[in-house]
Amino acid sequence: MNFRIREANPNDIDIIFNFICELAEYEKLRDDVTATPELLNESLFVKKQAEVLIAEVAGDSATIVGSAYNSGNYTAVGFALFFHNFSTFKGRACLYLEDIYVKPEYRGKGYGGQLIKELAAIAVNRKCDRFEWSVLDWNEPSIKFYKSLGAIPMDEWTVYRLTGESLKKLAGL
């Protein structure tokens, strides 16, 4: 197979940032992106608050479809950003997938499935009790894909979020 998954490194910051922006465009949330390559570098590689896997296909950039990112003999076609959370009921760490993205022209080739499979292996190897993520309600292609993997929706749970002024007000700032 001319495909590989590797751990991201600081040289991948621009690739990661571009994938985040493309994902935000797809999710109709581009205006919400306030991340910068510098902030991502600090969070991912200095503070190590999350980890990233890069999906790549082998080939010359001249023969690669679309606007993929070329790195040596491989072209980055997707990424997954994840971190650990914790289950108090299980008493163990869990793996949380914050974002997964495969460039549109590379979808349907199994690359997303391979990223999820690699994350599942990481979760098992690290003795994580759960592997979880969220998906937008309208994103039917992704929902169908996740269900095909055996994932089940957690319908009885609702995600709550504090951001911006509400977060600052609650913090007393």
62-73 pLDDT tens trace: 344 444 555 568
Instruction: Please report, as a single letter, which amino acid is at residue 154.
Output: M
The whole-number pLDDT of residue 62 equals: 38
What was the pLDDT predicted at 19? 97
User: Is a pLDDT exceeding 50 seen at residue 80?
Assistant: yes
Q: Is 146 a catalytic residue?
A: yes
- Please pick, among 96, 111, 146, 160, the residue that the annotation labels catalytic: 146
Q: Please give the model's pTM, rounded to 2 decimal places.
A: 0.88
Taken in order of first residue, the domains within the chain and their CATH numbers are: 3-170 (3.40.630.30)
Which of 103, 105, 131 has the alpha carbon at shortest distance from 118?
131
Taking residue 88's Cβ as centre, other Cβ atoms within 10 Å add up to: 6
Phi and psi at residue 67, to the nearest 5°: -105, 40
Question: Hunting for tokens 């040596």 — which residue is that?
Answer: 72
Examine the pLDDT at 116 and tell me if it is beyond 60: yes
Nearest to 32 by CA among 19, 16, 43, 21: 21
What is the distance, to the nearest Å, from the Cα of residue 32 to the centroid of all Cα atoms in its chain?
16
With 90 as the cut, is the pLDDT of residue 155 above it? no
Residue pLDDT, tens place only, 122-153: 999 999 999 999 999 998 989 998 999 999 99
Dihedral pair phi/psi, residue 161, rounded to 5°: -145, 140
pLDDT digits (tens, 9 = 90+) for 25-44: 999 999 999 999 999 999 99
Residue 60 has pLDDT above 50, yes or no: no
